[in-house]
Amino acid sequence: MNFVLPYFKLLRPLNLFLASLSIFLGSAILGAYDELDTLVPLICVVLFYTGAANSLNDFIDYKIDLINCPNRPIPSGDVSKNTALIFSIILFIFGSISSIPLDEKARLICLGIAMPLMILYNLLLKGLPLIGNVVVALIISMTFLFCGAAFNKMGDMIVPACLSFGLTLVREIVKDLADIDGDKALGMKTLPIVIGIKTTIRLLIFFIICTSIGIFIPFLYGLYNSLYGIMIFFGVEIPLGVTTVNLIVKPGIQSAKNAAKLLKFSTMIGIFAIFFGTLN
């Protein structure tokens, strides 16, 4: 068990849970949760690819994690760098094989777009100001489009994908604020390093306002029911407001770390809100 646990930690189990939950609830929104011949390969692809990307990220960010996250499996010495890389490659292969039974559009999304973006992000784009954040938000939001494509109902997943993009973009910028010390020490060019913490917070507040307005538009237009509005207000809008106030009052690394954890919770609530919002 002590041997397996570091590898499980390398995969970031909460991220795996959120990714698979997105697929399952996406299929439920489309009324296709019982189509197991499509749902099972979908979940397998997302689990394998998410685990592979996380493992590759830890391999690439080894030196950064020595400062920001010394308890991660590689900096702590529980997993070697080369083992993490091999683990990532194996998971990408398993994920690609899992996509074989899926529709051609779904395979195009995962093999032609998602996987290349995951690799490019970790190798080249992670340290670029804002671009890296946008790429991560695209990858996460693509989960819903991937689900829609597999069931030939991609249009129904556009709104969930947009909501996911906005929340993820905000959280990724917050994480850059939290990781600024390690990123700066290794010469990274993330947004807070390039434009400064105060300017980043101003830009972040602008994105929070846009996201707060955007996630309520489907409710105002009657696309989702009142339960969606209630869950979004208490589970997403209030945490976004708390994040904004904390960053204004205490604009520092600790506030950013607390906000990153809070926004991960909000993302989960947002996924459930979309599902319950479609119930009659």
pLDDT tens digits, 150-203: 999 988 898 889 888 998 999 889 888 887 877 777 777 888 889 988 898 889
H or E segment and range at residue 15: helix 13-29
Alpha-carbon distance of 189 to 110, in angstroms, equals: 28
CB burial of 50-63 (b: ≥16 within 10 Å; e: otherwise) equals: bbbbbbbbbbbbee
SS3 content of the chain, % helix, strand, coil (to 5): 80, 0, 20
- Tally of CB atoms within 10 A around 48: 23
pLDDT at 164: 87
pLDDT at 230: 92
pLDDT at 201: 87
pLDDT at 126: 80
pLDDT at 49: 96
Could you give the maximum distance between any two Cα atoms of the chain, in Å?
Answer: 53
The runs of H, that is alpha helices, within 151-252 are: 158-178, 180-185, 191-195, 197-214, 217-220, 226-232, 238-249
- Whose CA is closest to 14, among 254, 271, 274? 271
- Say what the pTM is: 0.87
Q: How far apart are the first and last CA of the chain?
A: 45
Low-confidence ranges of the chain (pLDDT < 70): 1-3, 280
Which residues, 6+ apart, have CB-to-CB distance to 177 below 8 Å?
192, 197, 200, 201, 204, 247, 253, 256
Alpha-carbon distance of 238 to 255, in angstroms, equals: 16
- Taking CA atoms, 152 is separated from 31, 165, 190, 213, in Å, by 12, 21, 37, 29
Dihedral, CA of residue 159, residue 161, residue 167 and residue 172, to nearest 10:
-160
pLDDT at 280: 67
pLDDT at 3: 66
CA pseudo-torsion sign 227, 229, 230, 232 = positive
Q: What is the pLDDT of residues 215-230, one digit of tens each?
A: 888 888 888 889 999 9
pLDDT at 77: 81
Token reading at 225: 């029911």
